[in-house]
Amino acid sequence: MSRIGKLPITLPNNTQVTIGTNNVVTVKGPKGELTTTIDKDMIVKQDENAIVVERPTEQKRHKAMHGLYRSLINNMVIGVSEGYKEQLELVGVGFKASVQGKVLELSLGYSHNIFLSLPDEVTITALTEKGKNPIVTLESNDKQLIGQIAAKIRSLRKVEPYKGKGIRFVGEVVRRKAGKTASK
């Protein structure tokens, strides 16, 4: 039995889940509505305030999907009730971030500025305080979407190990390397 798959998903009071035909699961809450399609072999049952995902057989394919779909439904429940938040820190001289509507403008030391258009589901803010590194905050109810956008922004200037410059998550520890030493 999957350790994650066998756990029931408890529903907060302010969320409601509907399981439609073809295993389409819709979760509604105060932060919005999310929908996903579960594999037709998996069995999704709803009790009063909990959801349980079961697998029909012990095939390797069913075992693999058991924990996956339980985690996807749990992420949707957390997303529509609490939401997700990612914070990125721009470390480097002259690195800047600004937001105009749904467009993020980044100045990362290249010869040009980078403009990144964001979907409507994501809200973004850029905070720049004097003497501190700029921080870009992403908020959404979709964990997969916010993680994908954060990874895209981070890939524009990855953290290099010698000076530690680049875009990193707030609280991320960067492994540093020693540079060249002068030989005598």
Torsion of CA 36, 38, 84, 103, to 10 degrees: -40
Structure tokens at 107: 């100045």
Domain regions of the chain by residue span = 4-82, 84-169
Which pLDDT band, with edges at 50, 70 and 90, does 113 fall under? very high
pTM, two decimals, is 0.88
Residues 137-148 have pLDDT tens digits of 999 999 999 999
Percentage with pLDDT > 90 across the chain: 81
- Tally the residues of the chain: 184
* Residue 40, number of CB atoms within 10 A of its CB: 8
Q: Classify 4-82 by CATH class.
A: alpha beta
More confident residue, 48 or 122: 122
Q: How far is CA 88 from CA 48, 149, 151, in A?
A: 39, 11, 10
Right CATH number for 84-169 from 3.30.750.24, 3.90.930.12, 2.30.30.110, 3.40.50.720? 3.90.930.12
Mean pLDDT throughout 121-134?
93
Dump pLDDT digits (tens) for 25-50. 999 999 999 999 999 999 999 988 89
Taking residue 182's Cβ as centre, other Cβ atoms within 10 Å add up to 4
